[in-house]
Amino acid sequence: MTVRIAPSILTADFANLEHELGRIATADLVHVDVMDNHFVPNLTFGQRMVESLQRVSPLPLDIHLMIDDPDRWAPGYAEAGAYSVTFHAEAVADAVSLARRLRDIGARAGIAVKPGTPIEPYLELLHEFDQVLVMTVEPGFGGQSFIESTMPKLVALRAAVAATGLDIWLQVDGGITERSIAIAAEAGADTFVAGSSVFNVGEPHMQIALLRAAASAHVH
């Protein structure tokens, strides 16, 4: 199974984002947290920022929409050239229709669930998505601690994905360190968002290598 590392620029130096993107060029994706101060109590990037990042990023953009009304706003991010657009199950009105629209535009379609949101209602809809994101912290702020009680969702997702035979990525986001990435990989994740543990400790390329090795040793 392929391990993918997606550093979150939420903890990068916003004044030097092009330089920061260059520092994580050995990763697989750039994770961009879009927050609207409504769905979550924080305000970050919008579509214009994503368009600017798209022009200078050496890696594909993995957009995570922590916003209200993604049915209205998500397609714009796909049209801006994002590789992957993930919206929240708790905020969307029609997840299947939105996922199909994102795919039609040319982006990978992802659905995210908060730590307290059950995954079971979505297991029969997996074929509609390219990625499922299991939040391992409460969405809104970086630097939180990994919530290990979310791991049974990944176990259930991995079994369900295996049954479909489809290439559906299972992503985790929140509190990812060398220790927690091994736990998440063992549970079934293959795509890992890491912010503080990449940008705030040592050289980002070295941290990416350490995280990749830790995950690779535990993926099935």
Residue 192 has pLDDT above 90, yes or no: yes
CATH number for the region 4-216 comes to 3.20.20.70
Residue 213 has pLDDT above 80, yes or no: yes
Q: What is the pLDDT of residue 11?
A: 86
- Marked catalytic residue, from 28, 36, 173, 190: 173
- Marked catalytic residue, from 33, 36, 130, 190: 33
Q: Kindly write down the DSSP assignment for every residue of 153-192, as one continuous string.
A: HHHHHHHHHHHHT---EEEEESS--HHHHHHHHHHT--EE
- Of 106-120, 131-145, 205-219, where does mean pLDDT reach its minimum? 131-145
Residue 201 has pLDDT above 80, yes or no: no
Tell me what the mean pLDDT of segment 111-127 comes to. 97
**pLDDT tens string 135-189:** 999 988 777 899 999 999 999 999 999 999 999 999 999 999 999 999 999 999 9
- Is 94 assigned a catalytic role? no
**Rounded Cα distance, 52 and 189, in Å:** 30
Query: DSSP assignment, residue 150?
Result: G
- Is 36 assigned a catalytic role? no
How many CA atoms, within 13 angstroms, populate the side-chain half-sphere of residue 80? 22
Residue 45 has pLDDT above 90, yes or no: no
Predicted model pTM = 0.96
How does the average pLDDT of the chain come out, rounded? 94
| Burial annotation 100-114 (CB, 10 A radius, 16+ → b, else e) | ebbbebebbbbbbbb
What are the extents of the domains in the chain? 4-216
- At a CB cut-off of 8 Å and minimum separation 6, what does 154 contact? 134, 170, 172, 184, 187, 188, 189
Tell me what the mean pLDDT of segment 20-38 comes to. 94
